Structure 1
């Protein structure tokens, strides 16, 4: 999730755990710990893009780190705040809860979170919520704001924060049946269109949990369609995207290609520029036109860097297309959310 949401979640968990004992310190420490797992990005300037793609949401988001981090930060907070007479175990519990809720929430998005690292680099993806969703974040912030303005022993402080946490958690749980319902209708859409897909990947679109998109895989192509909970029928049309994986078939195996295939979970297409440069497009994260424009580019596109002598892929650079969120496009996106155009 976005940094603000993770900060708010950490602060709310910290307040719920120790707010009555240490007051605003619980909020501040919770907010700080809520951002710690994402500090893995500070390594990016010192490592290759290939390595960075595997590190983000790796060790710092794992169960191993929950335990190690809880012990380290719990000990640190206990020593810094001895005058508060809070047992070491309670500081450690707070740190563990903040670190674990951060990682679990990230697993509900579509990026992939390596919860079992270093024993497995399998990226856990529930894919039920967009990385920025105001309906999840606002209750957390509202509860925290009320709590922050009250004395530690004020009952309203405690219950306002708990209410914010409860509402945001309830919303997160509701994204699960929302996804299941969308998947059912999208599968029906594939069947009605006569498209026999081998597997599908379903995700919510930007900033909402109403409009969903699915990627269906066949032997030589991906088919992309959308479904809104306001639609009266399953989707009636799908965009065909050729895989063109053959463009990579003659290239020597390399760590860079292996990392891209692992990261994308196979949901990628390949294109070739006029100068022979190859591009890998991870289709799971949508397009620059929010998936409803005529010529949007995949948001996650990687330009391959090859050894001139051997043709081996030695690295890649992420290309960032210009987002096309103009007034007309946003209006069309809103219309699609409301189910007024079933495309």
Structure 2
């Protein structure tokens, strides 16, 4: 309890000179200024101070980001948190939640100072500033997302950035917020996706399409084969598996700026399909920020389960389904967006019928360069994209 009271005291001083408000407007969407963020944090802390002054145990109310029942689907945006979501109450007088309560106040204090001083920090910076207090990086990550959801402010609006893991390459140049110019086609090595995607400006590209690649290994193979220039000028990006927020922000930024087709190249398995769905429709835990992260125009280029039969991929290159695969596929088939994709449903039915999956690399069993020389060119030519 001492930790949470200390955090309240640190923020109390900034509130004493401000008029008390009972129910400030917290509009969703639109441009959110630093003053808006400070105002929302102050209102939250005023509520805590008010409870303490009344001799009551303060509590924080957080939308539950782990329930599909809290989600609605809009095919023009993706997964969105419903306004009447089930909530979790984080109480200061409960042994199971008091630590979370105190850490949330601590992070609110950190965020308040960042916004007030117009400076930025990564989640990693915040964690390593007091590793003993937070215990793990995951704790910081989860609470920052909780705060973003509670305040209805995108993470960048909190001045908290995430360390990127994704790579990008191809016909693309842009300027970072600090003024540095980035040329993604000037080197044989890919560029790390910016940790401040929202600050990118002056995007220049003659790319015909954007290709999202699930795996780093496939991305590197396409890079080695000079795929971005041999077939048609394009941009390739990989989140190296399940994409981080910065990779998703980058795809959305490029789609908004360039208005070109976006394709997904993923394994023909439930995990690959889910990764594509995260780019296209968003994730359950980040549904409150779908309008910034999703690209509903993403198209499934491959690898399709039907391609396995059509191309006569050797049986020894295929992988039998596991219980985890069955469970993941059953979960996907129940997702709210699947009914809007009848062709996807057919592909998943084939996968379930055969009880087999295939990685993109299985195409090398046909020919070492089959992916770049035959498969992708035919897919893109047949669709009329190049």
TM-score > 0.5, shorter chain as reference = no
Higher relative contact order (CA 8 A, sep 6+): 2
- State the TM-score, normalizing by the size of structure 2: 0.26
